[in-house]
Each structure stands twice: as C-alpha cells, then as structure tokens.
Amino acid sequence: MNSIKPWPPGRKKALAWTGYISFFISIFLLFFYWTFPWNRIRDYLVQEFERSANQRADGRGRHLEIDSLRPYWLSGVQLEGVRVIEPSEMDADSTYALAIDSVVAQISLLRLLIGTQKLDFKLELAGGTFEGSLTKSGRHISASVDIEDLNLRQVGIIENYVGLPVGGRLTGALTLEVPEVTAEATGSAEFAIKDASIEGGKLKIAAVPMLRNGLTVERLSLGELALNMNISEGKATIEELKADGEDARIAGSGTVRLLSPLKRSRLDILLRLEFLEAYRKRNEVTERLFLVLDNVPQLRPARTRDEALQFRLGGSVAGGVRMVPAGGALAPGSSG
C-alpha cells in the first residue's frame, strides 16, 4: 500500500506566508477601495465637465449635477441622480435637462492583463436603458450600444433643439469598428421611434422675425420613425430615414463622413417634411399656423413643388449643424 508523504516543512512555511501576504493585500485593496474619497471624484467630474462645456457669451452654460458616486464591485463605479442642465436658447429664465437615474461603468481587469482596455456601461433613464461597451486595443476602437424603450418625452433636453417637446419610444442598436485609420471605419445603426410625435405648444424661432414671439402648434403625429445606416470606409450612409404618420410624412437621405475625433464628423443630409391635408385643415389653430408659415420669407426657398418643406443639414457636431433651405433639391429616396 502506498503511503501519503507529508509536505516538507519548508514548503508548508512558504505556502503559509503566501496566504498571509495574499490576505494582507486583499484586505488592503478592499480597505483602500471602500474608503477612497469618492465624493472628491464626483466634484472633480462636475468641475471638469463645466470647465470643458461650451459657455455662452452671457455666462450661462451647461451644468452637471451628481447626487452620489460610489464603487461598483472591484473595478467600477456607480453614479445616481445625474442631471445635465443647459439654458434655453430662447428664454433666459428657462433651462432643459437630461436626467439619468443611474450610471454604471466597469473596466474589465482581465482585458487589462493582455493590454486591452474594455469599458462596459449601462444607463437607466427615461423609463428605458442605454447600455454597451467600448474596447480599445492599440489604436483600434470597437463600440456597441443598445437602446431599449427610452421615453423621449422625459428627455427634456431635446426640446431645446427642436423647439417643442418630442414624444415616442426609442429603441435601437449601433456597432462601430474604428481601426487606426478613421477612414476605414465600418459598422451599422438601426433606430426606431414608436408613436413619434411633436407635441403641441408655442414654437419660437429667433432667426425668423415672424416666429420670434411664438406660434401655437397642434400635436403632430408621425407614426413610427425609422433610421437605418450602413457604415463603410469611414462614411455612414442613410439607407432608410422615413416616417408615415397621420399628420405628416418625413423622408431623408445623405451621409456622415467620420473624422477623428468623431465630433468633427461632417454631415450632408437632405431632410423632407410633408404636412398632410387632414392636419392642415384640422381646426382654426392649424389653419392659422399654415397661414403664417406660407408667408414666412425664410421658408420659401425650402418649399418643393408639392408644398413640402426640404432642408439640407450640413456642418459638424462640434462646429454646429447648419440647416439650409433646399426646396429645389432632388427629393430623398427618388431616383431622378
């Protein structure tokens, strides 16, 4: 019968010391992790955001508020009560906000061991979720995002750009692969807004004198708005942009040329908006609306032969998107 030989005393002592050291390091790391001054990190994030945010000439700019920031497992953080607040473009006393209930961001420790940085994130906002991952290996970047059931009516900051509240539920997905050369980027994007709408209210457009004081607009139903894009050789091409609602139709086409950094990417998009007769003659409010719009000089170059409105979006996100009347351009989706 074979007998089990005991370990040599020296090996026992080495294993014991290894256990003690591992235990000490683990306790030290946990103590450091849980006693880290997370509130200072929160304050630093707020200061850096407001320092880098575009400040207006009147001193009013974007602000960031974070209720709490705390550790999440061993390599992540969790933020709660995050609000991005920006001043209204039309009313000096009004602000709009993007309110996020929770943000979780976590770095993959295993990926770091092989020289790759991977960040997983999840945001809970507007009754839905916005989650994905960002991976960087050398100069190669991979990104994926999934959006599920965001209630756009709760994203108040959109109103600051549209001029009126926007309704609908947003769902979609984005994948992007950016190698060392941005001009070789590939990917795809698919988004859909169910029950898309422009809610009723007072529309003010500072650049149009007749609309500077506001014009009452009835709720505009757009049905389901779909946007599908294919990304190849550093260019995102719109394959589908359309909505066919009870009150209006939307169609669009064009491209986005991806540049580095991505905020410098250039837009060239043709957007068409057609109001249906049922909406034009719904009541006195809508009839008055189009009586005014038909006499706005700035909108005449945007009119097409069938009385739709057409605009070309150009410029970049960083430098500002320009909307130029383009009533004479070939309608989106037409073959000529």
Percentage with pLDDT > 70 across the chain: 81
Integer Cα distance of 155 and 62 in angstroms: 15
pLDDT digits (tens, 9 = 90+) for 266-290: 999 999 999 999 999 999 888 888 8
DSSP letter (8 states) at residue 95: E
When mean pLDDT is compared across 139-143, 209-213, 252-256, 268-272, the lowest value belongs to: 209-213
What's the burial of 136, exposed, middle or buried (CB within 10 Å: 0-12/13-18/19+)? middle
Integer Cα distance of 253 and 241 in angstroms: 7
When mean pLDDT is compared across 89-103, 148-162, 227-241, 309-323, the lowest value belongs to: 89-103
State the pLDDT at residue 316.
Answer: 85
Dihedral of the alpha carbons of 40, 46, 101, 129, in degrees to the nearest 10: -110
64 pLDDT more than 90: no
Average pLDDT, the chain: 83
CB 311 within 8 A of CB 328: no
pLDDT, mean of residues 138-165: 89
State the pLDDT at residue 33.
Answer: 58
75 pLDDT more than 90: no
CB 240 within 8 A of CB 227: yes
Q: Would strands 320-325 and 309-316 be described as parallel, antiparallel, or unpaired?
A: antiparallel
State the pLDDT at residue 134.
Answer: 92
Name the pLDDT band for 245 (thresholds 50, 70, 90): very high
Whether the upstream peptide bond of residue 71 has omega within 30° of 0, thus cis, is no
